[in-house]
Chain A
Amino acid sequence: MKRRDFLGVLTGGAASLALGPTWAGASTLPDEFFIFVHAGGGWDVTLWADPRNERRGLIDPATAGNSETGGLKYWKHAGGTFEILTSKSGLQLGPGIGSLYDLRERLTIINGLAMNTVSHDDGTTFSTTGRHRTGGAVPESSVDVVCANELGGRQLMPSVAIRFPSQFVGDRLDRRAVPLRVGSVDAITRSFVRSADYLQPPDRQAITALLTEEARELARDSTHPAPFDQLASQHQDLVPLLTGDFTKALGARQLQAAYPQFEYQGFQGGSTVAAAFAIEAIKRNLVRCVGFGLGGFDTHGANQRQHALQLQELFGTIAAMVKLLDATPHPTRRGAKLSEHTHILVVSEFCRTPQLNPAGGRDHYPNNSALVISPRFRPGPFGATDPDQLLPVDSVEFSDGRRAIAPPDLLATFLGAFGIDPRRYMRDGEIVKALLA
């Protein structure tokens, strides 16, 4: 064995001390896909997931006087406020649900998530990682990175985060799971364009081979080889992306033309193209996880009047994604639809106060709801809040007693649904079997 190969084995061995995927020995490759959506700012759950149309306790319900109702597809007047919508699965929904109401029998809504924070940064971190920040630092990786680490290693881009609060923490995860964090879809595609007038693809391949070799040698020479190993694999990953039709099909303009179902002129503007990117990238089997953020829900003032319309637009985007997934064949499973193997998790950092503030807005509140659309989850409601103050209720038996469900429990359950042992990645949280189908 040559020294270089021996060292290659050594570094491969060192890399295997990292948290490799649990499926590594399995005979079938993972073929599930994940879409994570962050509704930035803190959403008003009384308008959709945990609807309140009655003045009671602290609750100031949305009314035609304090909200813009024109344009709300499912606002049905009921004594100045709105009529609550229901589903066979037992859900109660508010008018902000929009077109997602058409898919109500496939929705899993978790209410009464105990947040214990009303800070944007901390709430966002808690919702996506299951841990609070410590001194400003994020202690654990986010759920999309965990899924990418477990299931995404073979994809060209295991995890893409378009304004999604993705976190890659520590040294124990596969470096390929480092998320591509970008502000826009075009930031991904334009960087892969190369001029045809000067260097040619064989030249770039030679450069890549040289850089990969240099990176590997530097890794062997380092006490901490991880950064160079990471660079080496990322250089290798570049080659097919530079030579394929990736840039043509996944540019923002092309996506908007190919997916007119999404609303590109609304509150979110062009940011909605991230949803189209998710569909196209999954369809082409380029990614395992796509996360994107749609913001503007932090309505402390008069902008609370439009909150229901913003929610309607958000859930309209989700509904359009689900319908597209219903109509798209799975890239590797013959005869299957993408919707049977794509799992959507929608979170926000907290919810808004049930009472209106003097400016007519709603402030931050340490309660939350989340939405899951997945064949592996049982449709219907889960968790509850008290009727007067919208605070989480102790509704679930856990190993540490009866308490409210919290984000780490939801995230642990989400990972557990795909055979991922949450304890490998998360300090907190328990799998809630009642959530699973």
Chain B
Amino acid sequence: MKWWLACVVIGLALVPDLGAQRALADYRYFRALSIDLAGRPPTRDEIAAFEAAGFDLDAWLDARLASEPYAERIRRVYTDLLRLELPEGTAVFRPPSVLLRWTTIQDADGKTLDLYFREGQRRLKPELDGQVCFTQAETGLIVGADGPPNGTPKRVSKRLLEERTVVVKPWWLYADYKTRQPRNRADATWVERYGYELVWSMFNEADGKTPVTGVRVCREEAQIAETGRVVATGRIVKKGDPLLPGRLTRLPADTAFAKANAGTMTSCFAQTGFESSIECGCGVGLERCLPTVPAGFVMPWVTPLGVDLAFDSAPRPAILWLRAWWSQEAIHFLDRIFREDRDVREILTSPSTTVNGPLAQFYRFFANATCCGAASELGYTQAEPLFDPAKVPTSLSPHEVATWTVVEDRGPHAAGVMTMPMFLLKYGSRRQRAHAVYSVFMCKEFVAEAAKLEPSTEPDLTKRAGCSTCHQRLEPMAAYFARIQESDWTYLPQPLFPVSLERCTAAGPAGMPMGACRTFYDPDFTDRTSTMLRGAYGAPAHADEGPRGLARDVTSSPEFAPCVVRNVAQSLLGRQLTAADDTWKAALAKAFVDGKYRMRSLVRAIVTSPRYRDANDRKPR
């Protein structure tokens, strides 16, 4: 009988003592998990919970792997690789149709008034066409290309002021700018309510007390119509023509579009509306335009913990403030993929995105202002955008900075982060874009260690000696971006820009592509019978597939999954993977693919591995 008593006692001796302390390695492991998955070291309360009997590490891990800090941690891996920000001084995106310039005039009582106008705005009076809505004779002032006006101001009569200008309650000052009588004026509470902040000079007069209740704009700019009639003035403007008195610029000539479409209606959302219709303005509350002055939009600048916890912010012109949201779009897009444990391939393949108020405004009204420039000579006058404005939520107001909404489908050309403005500007050229994808998602570099560069006239870099080592791979990848303009996001649709366009061949009278043909088609690949869309020669078929084709190619390549594993594992382990990790890495990559490319299970496998746990390398005593 006593043998069973011995068994019971020995069994009791073997049962884990529930009051036993955890070892130092356990605390360090828990701390490492907190740092990586909760974004900070554990608090004392969390340590106490960890120490308590029955602490379920698995459940704790599951909870962390569904949290925002985890998503941010993994997102940081990719934002460190992609670096989607631009230097402040980079001058990008300044289309005149979108920018409200500022000048001053003097009213009948001698008071100085701020006046907003668009450079290039079409006006009823020919002598004002394309410039501010007063002549120098009327105001005493001449408005240059930049800066304050020059001259001695003259008082403008009340009649003339009312004839030429109107006071508008603009979107940046009024949340309810779309209503007949806006009342919800910006104040200090908007930071809390909307995350939107203006400096006081935007909503108070120079005395610091009188509230700004409206801005004065030229009447044409205040128009709200969505379509306008195309006007052809019949004007012939030559380069050497003398300037009209008081003007610093020539009267705008009729565009080819205006000549061909005079009298028809055109969209005021397109550049053609701005260039050729007197009836196209900045819309309700000037929502289709951005004020250039004052630089009063407070922009979060240093945001390592997110825009809500900005460490540095500064007032900037609206055009720079808008740029901050381009970066945030990419961040929110990536966060959603990791937070919802979506297929990681969506980074490149997804047609979706997430937008806030400023981004919604940008995509509805500003993005297509880059279209179409020289392309209009080839018949491209209505933008075919990467993000269809019709899919942008109309409920978001421009000042709803903190409200983010998912747009599931941007349109047929959208491809993950590759078709977002910040990516396309950060990596301005086709080859830069291809290289970014190649290095971040395939973990490869274009390096020709032993190539010998001989002088050569071979235009095809996939064939030129020395260059072909890299360009044989690079050019076909770059060709996927042939239909997106460099340093821009203007899309060149296939019907108007086929890979070879007959009218741009060398068979024309000039013998070589000139003008718009030369801008979009490469003379080095042009002969009498064919030409080549710039950037497409490496693989013309890729041009038509667009970035979606590149997304498909890269995500289906054997390098994609190991590259994801490598980037994430190296970041979590804090070291480069070596040959000793190859078997482990291969197993993780296989599991990642078998698990349908979900990041959560990959991260869980890494942080529960001995490599991660034993990274705190204490020597055994």
Docked complex Cα distance between A223 and B519 (Å): 61
The answer to whether residues A300 and B487 also contact, given A221-B619, A366-B453, A389-B455 and a CB cut-off of 8 A, is yes
17 additional contacts (CB under 8 A) given A117-B446, A132-B447, A301-B487: A114-B453, A116-B453, A117-B447, A119-B435, A119-B445, A132-B445, A132-B449, A135-B443, A136-B443, A221-B619, A223-B617, A223-B618, A223-B619, A300-B429, A366-B453, A391-B454, A391-B455
Cβ-neighbour of A135 out of B89, B445, B453, B519 (below 8 A): B445
Contact B445 A133 (CB under 8 A): yes
| A293 interface contact, C-beta 8 A | no
Chain A hits for B519, CB < 8 A: 358
| A214 interface contact, C-beta 8 A | no
Nearest CB in chain B: distance from A43 CB, A: 17
Cβ-neighbour of B453 out of A132, A136, A296, A391 (below 8 A): A391
Chain A hits for B487, CB < 8 A: 300-301
| B250 interface contact, C-beta 8 A | no
| A222 interface contact, C-beta 8 A | yes
Nearest CB in chain A: distance from B32 CB, A: 15
Within 98-126 of B, Cβ neighbours of A (below 8 Å) are at none
Nearest CB in chain B: distance from A235 CB, A: 21
Nearest CB in chain A: distance from B204 CB, A: 31
Within 137-194 of A, Cβ neighbours of B (below 8 Å) are at 137
Docked complex Cα distance between A386 and B453 (Å): 11
Within 339-369 of B, Cβ neighbours of A (below 8 Å) are at none
Within 419-452 of B, Cβ neighbours of A (below 8 Å) are at 428-429, 435, 439, 443-449, 451-452
Nearest CB in chain B: distance from A186 CB, A: 14
Chain B hits for A122, CB < 8 A: 445-447
| A392 interface contact, C-beta 8 A | yes
| B613 interface contact, C-beta 8 A | no
| A323 interface contact, C-beta 8 A | no
Chain B hits for A389, CB < 8 A: 455-456
Docked complex Cα distance between A15 and B453 (Å): 44
The answer to whether residues A222 and B451 also contact, given A136-B439, A136-B443, A358-B518 and a CB cut-off of 8 A, is no
Chain A hits for B89, CB < 8 A: 296
Nearest CB in chain B: distance from A407 CB, A: 12
Residues of A that sit less than 8 Å from B by CB: 57, 114, 116-117, 119, 122, 132-137, 221-224, 295-296, 300-301, 358, 363, 366, 386, 388-389, 391-392, 403
Nearest CB in chain A: distance from B62 CB, A: 32
A388 nearest CB neighbor, chain B only? B455
A114 nearest CB neighbor, chain B only? B453
- Would you mind naming 30 contact pairs between A and B with Cβ atoms under 8 Å apart? A114-B453, A116-B448, A116-B449, A116-B451, A116-B453, A117-B447, A119-B445, A122-B445, A122-B447, A132-B447, A132-B449, A133-B445, A135-B443, A135-B444, A136-B81, A136-B445, A137-B576, A222-B618, A222-B619, A223-B617, A223-B618, A301-B487, A358-B518, A358-B519, A366-B453, A388-B455, A389-B455, A389-B456, A391-B455, A392-B453
A-B contact count (CB 8 A): 60
B89 nearest CB neighbor, chain A only? A296
The answer to whether residues A116 and B447 also contact, given A366-B453, A388-B455 and a CB cut-off of 8 A, is yes
The answer to whether residues A363 and B429 also contact, given A221-B619, A224-B617 and a CB cut-off of 8 A, is yes
A428 nearest CB neighbor, chain B only? B449
Docked complex Cα distance between A431 and B471 (Å): 31
Chain A hits for B87, CB < 8 A: 295
A267 nearest CB neighbor, chain B only? B89
Interface of B, helix, strand, loop or mixed by DSSP: loop
Contact B447 A221 (CB under 8 A): no
Chain B hits for A133, CB < 8 A: 445, 447
B444 nearest CB neighbor, chain A only? A135
Within 445-477 of B, Cβ neighbours of A (below 8 Å) are at 445-449, 451-456
Within 602-621 of B, Cβ neighbours of A (below 8 Å) are at 617-619
Docked complex Cα distance between A322 and B439 (Å): 40
The 5 closest A-B pairs by CB, nearest first: A223-B617, A132-B447, A389-B455, A116-B448, A135-B443
Chain A hits for B453, CB < 8 A: 114, 116, 366, 391-392
Docked complex Cα distance between A137 and B446 (Å): 13
Docked complex Cα distance between A222 and B447 (Å): 38
Docked complex Cα distance between A228 and B197 (Å): 45
Cβ-neighbour of A222 out of B81, B455, B617 (below 8 A): B617
A117 nearest CB neighbor, chain B only? B447
Chain A hits for B435, CB < 8 A: 119
Nearest CB in chain A: distance from B536 CB, A: 15
Q: Which of A116, A119, A403 has the most CB of B within 10 A?
A: A116
A218 nearest CB neighbor, chain B only? B618
B445 nearest CB neighbor, chain A only? A133
B567 nearest CB neighbor, chain A only? A136
Chain B hits for A366, CB < 8 A: 453
Cβ-neighbour of A300 out of B428, B445, B456 (below 8 A): B428
Nearest CB in chain B: distance from A65 CB, A: 15
Contact A134 B445 (CB under 8 A): yes
Chain B hits for A57, CB < 8 A: 455
Chain B hits for A388, CB < 8 A: 455
Contact A386 B619 (CB under 8 A): no
Chain B hits for A114, CB < 8 A: 453
Docked complex Cα distance between A164 and B487 (Å): 26
Chain B hits for A301, CB < 8 A: 487
Nearest CB in chain A: distance from B271 CB, A: 19
Docked complex Cα distance between A114 and B447 (Å): 13
A169 nearest CB neighbor, chain B only? B576
A390 nearest CB neighbor, chain B only? B455
Docked complex Cα distance between A57 and B87 (Å): 35
Contact A386 B455 (CB under 8 A): yes
Docked complex Cα distance between A381 and B576 (Å): 41
Docked complex Cα distance between A363 and B487 (Å): 13
Nearest CB in chain A: distance from B135 CB, A: 31
Contact A221 B439 (CB under 8 A): no
The answer to whether residues A119 and B446 also contact, given A222-B619, A301-B487 and a CB cut-off of 8 A, is yes
When each residue 509-520 of chain B gets 1 if its CB lies under 8 Å from chain A and 0 otherwise, what string results? 000000000110
B520 nearest CB neighbor, chain A only? A358
Chain A hits for B429, CB < 8 A: 300, 363
Chain A hits for B447, CB < 8 A: 116-117, 122, 132-134
Nearest CB in chain A: distance from B522 CB, A: 10
Docked complex Cα distance between A221 and B445 (Å): 39
Docked complex Cα distance between A205 and B449 (Å): 51
A391 nearest CB neighbor, chain B only? B453
Docked complex Cα distance between A296 and B87 (Å): 10
When each residue 77-100 of chain B gets 1 if its CB lies under 8 Å from chain A and 0 otherwise, what string results? 000010000010100000000000
Docked complex Cα distance between A427 and B550 (Å): 36
B81 nearest CB neighbor, chain A only? A136
Nearest CB in chain B: distance from A255 CB, A: 22
Docked complex Cα distance between A194 and B608 (Å): 42
Nearest CB in chain A: distance from B609 CB, A: 18
Within 47-93 of B, Cβ neighbours of A (below 8 Å) are at 81, 87, 89
Docked complex Cα distance between A137 and B110 (Å): 65
Docked complex Cα distance between A141 and B446 (Å): 21
A393 nearest CB neighbor, chain B only? B455
Docked complex Cα distance between A300 and B81 (Å): 23
Docked complex Cα distance between A300 and B431 (Å): 13
B534 nearest CB neighbor, chain A only? A358
Chain B hits for A392, CB < 8 A: 453
Nearest CB in chain B: distance from A241 CB, A: 25
Nearest CB in chain A: distance from B554 CB, A: 15
Docked complex Cα distance between A421 and B448 (Å): 26
Docked complex Cα distance between A391 and B618 (Å): 54
Nearest CB in chain A: distance from B456 CB, A: 8
Nearest CB in chain B: distance from A297 CB, A: 13
Docked complex Cα distance between A132 and B451 (Å): 13
Docked complex Cα distance between A435 and B530 (Å): 51
Chain A hits for B576, CB < 8 A: 137
Docked complex Cα distance between A117 and B443 (Å): 17
Q: Which of A57, A136, A366, A391 has the most CB of B within 10 A?
A: A136
Docked complex Cα distance between A189 and B381 (Å): 55
Docked complex Cα distance between A130 and B453 (Å): 18
